[in-house]
Structure 1
């Protein structure tokens, strides 16, 4: 998962809030440790979250709750943008349960980092659930929901959490390991500045499953085929079928930029 080194979190994203007084600064998961009374309180929170999550999971949630810090207009609101904002957007469709998506993400990370750092393109990630449809289970759905919960706390948390999912992805796509909500919550421990008090209830209640389902429905409707797939300003490229290379991608980005610049240029007045 690529991340721009020079950009800041998108405006409107919820950032972890420092707590405590003078002395060591405690944030994120460290807040859960101090006192036995707090542990009892946390246990109660978990119990309530589990009940809420069970209730929500009993039905098919269709409410589309967009993660924080994202555009509020379709179809951009289905893709998680990684800044900077430039005229060319490379949209990457990936399934967090799918080994081919993982291999693509790892192979192309240097190329995407280069595009971001050079300011030539914005990268946007679309999370889909084709593996759930093909092999049964809800691992891709639950993993994508958890990634959206990380996005609620910031771009850095989203990128870091998705990288954790890649690291822990089962080698066998039929293994629905990500269907375990406690396991997805546990992976949040490895994400810097992730606030458990926000992340855990979001994962338990599947806050963003409607948003993930909308992304998959739009992907299916578009008939884009198997992941991984990328789009450059809306033009679809299948990296595997079209033997895409970093050089070819760079040429396509330059071509897209040229088209944007040409369309933005004023038409000379008739003499």
Structure 2
């Protein structure tokens, strides 16, 4: 048992370090790494499909709060964070995250991972083949469009246990923001998603059977501590790399990460046991 726990801790530390690097580099909160990694770790320990995806998502959302705070702080030192976007978009993102946490309790996790897999493939195509100057608008939308898109980003991100970067970076680049500024600003979306999202998963999972002994609702305490501590210290390194890379390379790497994530989730959604 001791060896098993040591192996689990080592796997979670490695996952947290990589998630922190991804969070700082791409502003996506690290959830694209943590959710599938923690999901498979729980499966290896014998936990059944029922609460497994929900615990992976809930724990990821809690960790994203720490990684996003660290990441956005590092990006802010480079002057790359557009705080006007955060001030006007965060209320709607928070609303969407609360809705997503509620919906996640009644929708099977496997269907949601399959949906995200398809969405991630579509988004990656824009970064692979879209021109850097290809825009749908010259500035971020306001009014009812902002409310709808912000709520959508919050809801989908909360449902899937990811930061807002997957959708936020794409939206901002299509609305005139550079990839570097979009990555930096989207890091702040993670806090707005993670706090209400994680609280929702705690509340809705309190009475569910089949969870880990250290779980509070759908958030696993041991997983949170290890993943958050590992990711927290490595996120600034990813942010530093983001500001030293050519912009075209950053776009391609972001797209490759989305493709890898998409195929991983699709395989699990349709072929998982």
Query: Which of the five TM-score ranges fits, normalised by the shorter chain?
Result: under 0.3
Q: Which has the higher contact order (CA 8 A, sep 6+)?
A: 2
Alignment TM-score, normalising by the size of structure 1 = 0.27
Structure with the larger helix share: 2
Of the two, which has the highest radius of gyration? 1
Structure with the larger strand share: 1
Alignment TM-score, normalising by the size of structure 2 = 0.27
